[in-house]
Structure 1
Amino acid sequence: MSPSARCLLIHPIGGMFSISRCCEAPVSLVRSIPRLATVGLVATAACAYDARMPSQPTEPAAAARGPQFASVATRGGTAASHRHIVSFKGSVPADFAAQVAALGGKVLWVSPGSGLAAVRGLQGSAAAKLAGKQGIQAVEADALLALDVPRLAMDATAEGGGVASNAAPAAAVRYSRQWNMRAVQADVAWSHGFLGSDAVSIFMLDSGIDYLHADLLGRVDLTRSVDLLDTLYVPVVNANGDTVIVRFVEADTVRHYFPDRLPFTDLFFHGTHTAATVSSNAARTAGVTSRTKLVAVKVCAYINDCPFSSILNGVIYAADNGADVINLSVGGAFTKAGNGRFVGLINKVFNYARSKGVTTVVSAGNEGIDLDHNGNTYQTFCDTPAVICVAATGPTTDATGLTIASGPWTDVDAPAFYTNFGRSAIDVAAPGGNGSFGPDLSPPASRDVFVWAACSQTSLYLHEVFGFFCNPINIVGARGTSMSAPHVAGTAALLVSILGRNPSQIKARIQQTADNVAGNGTTPFYGKGRLNVARAIGAIP
């Protein structure tokens, strides 16, 4: 991109988070290119720092942007979401709900298996009083995470229709755009009959799923899918410029705008995109698998607030309801100092899932941070031992750019400029989309390369950005480590049918069979290498 085309704006998300973005074009459809509408939304890291160039100065510490937790039992913190997470010394006290109610609160959920619970409505000293009750180990203030909102592109055409091709995913109408599936040799796995199994379930902890999109129709288990957000209290700026706390219930928004939809439909876009990357009917775009069962676990609201308590509850819910694999393309960072208990909570929950045979795949994050040298910060959820942490790769240019986005592409396995990295954290890398900086290329070539997948028909966010609602066959292009993690989650689902529900073996197989695109051993941007689906499942040596 040319320097003159870049600018900086602040885009508010849900009132609480203001995210700096670079913009290369007005936030509108690109009318001069009828087949592809593109909007300029790029995370701050893309503007200020290219992770692949260590000579550049790094960004401010991640902790400055991440959620801040505090143990109310010792420091009297206030929960940003009006919620608290409770851990027990042993079994859950029989009168726990009554104790919470007597202090003016309400129990949101209790997990005897993990020894945790979440409550809301504790005001003033109530949380500290609860922490002093018999059988209570600690009461932690909850916090809100946010999904990274990547640069997006829209394919709003209906050309070619959309007929399911589960048995031959490469027949998807827009498969020509899917450099990502060819990069990891998913197409070779399909040709050998590895399409996934309806008996294997991947729980998508995200913003929900549009279960009526052509690529997802019949792929989502509507019985086990669930909205775990409950009531949120979020700060917004009113007409007078004052910040006030308002009550928000996403399920009410679904009922208001989409009364015929179930509560876990996707009002954002993120969950639908990641889900269709894992498993798709291949009507418009292919997924890594085409027969794996998806379960929507809504832990992020379309206002881009993801309560930490909902995420932990989602992991527990998945473990208790038959998940084989969890995909969690959300995270952040917080300071380790003073938050040792919270680190313990995270490890406890993810270890609980692993003990139940669940493989958990997480995204590395898009801040361009060296996780080997991130000081006093804890990166959720890559610093959690019981996960597979995935960095992002992708081409630096697309010769057909904003026309048909079908290549040829340059340097398909290049580290993404935004990806977090570090030998101690990254387990494997996978396609997430990419870009490059420099002079404008001759049209139609572009420096922006996306991962394409299903567009949620119920996305209020995309309606605001693009000015229309997607139809059942529209797809959207996005980039980020959120997009790379589902490639690994889909591969893990294939391996469940081969290795069984064994997280350690599945992780080892994925790492051992990855392509050493940056040399042998463990490397900062690739971990053990770039994912190879076909080799992982034994389709090729």
Structure 2
Amino acid sequence: MYRIRNTAVGVLAVAALAACSDTPATPSNQTLIPQNANASASVDPVVPGQVLVKFKDGTNTVAAARMLGTPIQQEGYKHAFQIVSVENGQERAAAARLAADPQVEWAEPNYIRHVDAIDSRLWAFFNPGGLNMSFYNDPNGNTGSIPASYASKLDADMDAIEGIAAGGSPVVISSIDTGVDFNHPEFTGRLIAGCDWYSQAAAGNGSATCSDFTPFDTPDEGHGTHTTGTMAGTTVGVAGITGAGPNVKVYVQRVCGPVGCYSSSIINAIRAAADQPNMVAMNLSLGGTTESQGEKSAISYATSKNVLVIVAAGNSGTSKVGCPACDANAISVSATTWQDALAAYSQYGSGLDISAPGGYCYSNTTEDGCIFSAIVAGYQGGRTYSGPLAGGSYAYMQGTSMSTPQVTGAAAAVASKTGLRGSALRTRLQSTADDLGTAGVDTKFGNGRLNVYRAVTNTTLGAGL
């Protein structure tokens, strides 16, 4: 029942709450309490004692590192860069010194990124308008429905109609995140185990090749299972809803853990994903504030292989897109609400490419205003629900982490059904979006809010359908 796009699904989508930038005031006895997404730090933290270095081609890296007094600690994927040891607390200064050396192409600290997550049921796929929700566990004792001004807007969805991408060809997308629950029924037989770059880095394994193929999500994380469910879950994902699911496999790589997401691991994962056969797009629901030359180089490499790199814009609510979404070759994604407004937490700004539903929850209302997807068994981050598939756990989350995989899942569906790749696939996704805000490309919605039906079929669905 979660895959049928009809009025019944709209009813099941019980309610979601709009997070408008100009949200109407509510009665004084019915205060809504915003549940903020994770805000981006003003300065990215770094891995102590590590600097990433890309020596110029033809340089004897070992000799050069020895001469510069920075011993090589680890190697990047296929020797794309080296990690050298520097004095703790001197990472930025050492990187600047190394970057000035004529033997060095670029040098930078090993930044620590963060996942961009925060929680109807598929209102993003079908929204008939008028959905609302009620106060829940409100500290002020409010009960009943919230004001009607918060009800959903008709067609504030992506028109991800069942079956429109069925009968396509096999494609692969990549989850670059906290890993995925390989036992979840949403993904049976469709996950490919890539590297656990996070654990490998944390263990000090300096090999340029992977030795740990256990990219499994954990109950205290859960983020990667949720984003992958939105991309490609059988009943809750864009690819599954549109019928492309059986033809879509997900190459899973773990780059985030308790400490965060090392940029060295992110760089490795982007390059490794780009090398996979039939890869069409990769999802990075993570980011920070500082542009990384290593990530930029990896994204350029993926782009040269006709693979899209789709990245969350960030959740600090500021007018600047985070990084690596800030890279011109990446597709940066902001988050919308079920009133087709920019979510209050979503970053935006120059260079934003597209928007998609990311949800908005209030801590004293039901969670239905957020994005419903799969979650790892035993998830510790909040309430979980059973179904729609037997044996699977599900939860609501919100954030640009939730909007980004909507675009990646759509990319998989379009690529499978149409054969489009690279820049042609990117153009199809962006040119078929629903224009919101200022006419044309703008800084809040980019080219517009994702429209899956139009992206797959290149035709327009009638309003209200």
Q: Write out aligned runs for 1:82-101 (5 A).
A: 82-91=49-58, 93=60, 95=62, 99=66
Which structure carries more relative contact order (alpha carbon 8 Å, separation 6+)? 2
**Residue 132 of structure 1, CA deviation:** 8.5
Does the aligned pair in 1 maintain the 2:197–2:268 contact within 8 Å?
yes
Which amino acid in 2 is paired with 1:118?
Answer: Q
Which amino acid in 2 is paired with 1:381?
Answer: P
2:164 to 188, 192, 195: 192
Which amino acid in 2 is paired with 1:321?
Answer: Q
Change (3 A) 1:84 1:511: same
Change (3 A) 1:281 1:464: closer
Unaligned runs of 5+ in 1: 1-45, 69-78, 153-175, 234-246, 250-260, 335-341, 372-377, 396-410
Task: Tell me whether 1:144 sits opposite 2:112 in the alignment.
Answer: yes
Q: Write out aligned runs for 1:312-327 (5 A).
A: 312-322=267-277, 323-327=279-283
CA distance in 2: counterparts of 1:105 and 1:308, whole angstroms: 17
2:43 to 53, 66, 69: 66
**Residue 497 of structure 1, CA deviation:** 3.2
Match of residue 416 from structure 1: 343
Change (3 A) 1:66 1:469: farther
Change (3 A) 1:426 1:51: farther
Match of residue 243 from structure 1: none
**Residue 181 of structure 1, CA deviation:** 1.8
**Residue 351 of structure 1, CA deviation:** 1.1
Change (3 A) 1:184 1:467: closer
Does the aligned pair in 2 maintain the 1:207–1:269 contact within 8 Å?
yes
SS in 1 for 2:226: helix
Which amino acid in 2 is paired with 1:418?
Answer: Y
Superposition TM-score, scaled by structure 2 size: 0.71
Match of residue 373 from structure 2: 453
Which amino acid in 2 is paired with 1:312?
Answer: I
Does the aligned pair in 2 maintain the 1:51–1:369 contact within 8 Å?
no
1:425 to 351, 354, 377: 351
Match of residue 264 from structure 1: 215
Q: Write out aligned runs for 1:112-191 (5 A).
A: 116-119=80-83, 121-123=85-87, 135-150=103-118, 152=119, 177-182=121-126, 183-187=157-161, 190-191=162-163
CA distance in 2: counterparts of 1:500 and 1:96, whole angstroms: 47
SS in 2 for 1:106: strand
Match of residue 392 from structure 1: 335
Deviations 1:400-427 (A, max 9, x none): xxxxxxxxxxx3x2322211123x2221
Deviations 1:308-356 (A, max 9, x none): 111111111111223321111101113xxxxxxx654433221111001
Q: Write out aligned runs for 1:389-538 (5 A).
A: 389-395=332-338, 411=339, 413-422=340-349, 424-435=350-361, 446=366, 449-457=369-377, 462-463=379-380, 472-497=391-416, 500=419, 502-518=421-437, 520-538=439-457
**Residue 214 of structure 1, CA deviation:** 0.7
Which amino acid in 2 is paired with 1:520?
Answer: A
Which amino acid in 2 is paired with 1:463?
Answer: Q
CA RMSD of aligned residues (A): 3.9
Which amino acid in 2 is paired with 1:393?
Answer: T
Unaligned runs of 5+ in 2: 1-17, 24-35, 127-156, 206-211, 461-465
Match of residue 366 from structure 1: 315
CA distance in 2: counterparts of 1:100 and 1:273, whole angstroms: 47
Does the aligned pair in 2 maintain the 1:216–1:281 contact within 8 Å?
yes
Moved more, 96-105 or 270-279: 96-105
Superposition TM-score, scaled by structure 1 size: 0.62
Does the aligned pair in 1 maintain the 2:74–2:82 contact within 8 Å?
yes
CA distance in 2: counterparts of 1:97 and 1:317, whole angstroms: 26
Match of residue 134 from structure 2: none
2:286 to 330, 350, 365: 330
CA distance in 2: counterparts of 1:204 and 1:379, whole angstroms: 19
Does the aligned pair in 1 maintain the 2:280–2:422 contact within 8 Å?
no
Which amino acid in 2 is paired with 1:143?
Answer: Y
Which amino acid in 2 is paired with 1:82?
Answer: G
Change (3 A) 1:434 1:90: same
CA distance in 2: counterparts of 1:327 and 1:436, whole angstroms: 27
CA distance in 2: counterparts of 1:415 and 1:469, whole angstroms: 30
Which amino acid in 2 is paired with 1:352?
Answer: Y
Deviations 1:509-533 (A, max 9, x none): 1121111244631233222211111
Moved more, 507-516 or 132-141: 132-141
Does the aligned pair in 2 maintain the 1:215–1:454 contact within 8 Å?
yes
Instruction: Give aligned pairs, total.
Output: 383
**Residue 455 of structure 1, CA deviation:** 1.0
Does the aligned pair in 2 maintain the 1:277–1:287 contact within 8 Å?
no
CA distance in 1: counterparts of 2:292 and 2:236, whole angstroms: 42
Change (3 A) 1:97 1:325: farther
**Residue 431 of structure 1, CA deviation:** 1.0
**Residue 278 of structure 1, CA deviation:** 0.8
Match of residue 73 from structure 2: 106
Change (3 A) 1:179 1:143: same
CA distance in 2: counterparts of 1:138 and 1:518, whole angstroms: 39
Change (3 A) 1:454 1:103: same
Which amino acid in 2 is paired with 1:263?
Answer: T
Match of residue 353 from structure 1: 302
Which amino acid in 2 is paired with 1:310?
Answer: S
Match of residue 404 from structure 1: none
Q: Write out aligned runs for 1:275-286 (5 A).
A: 275-282=228-235
SS in 2 for 1:391: strand
Match of residue 30 from structure 1: none
Does the aligned pair in 1 maintain the 2:328–2:351 contact within 8 Å?
no
Change (3 A) 1:105 1:95: closer
**Residue 279 of structure 1, CA deviation:** 0.8
Moved more, 201-210 or 446-455: 446-455
Change (3 A) 1:282 1:91: farther
Which amino acid in 2 is paired with 1:282?
Answer: T
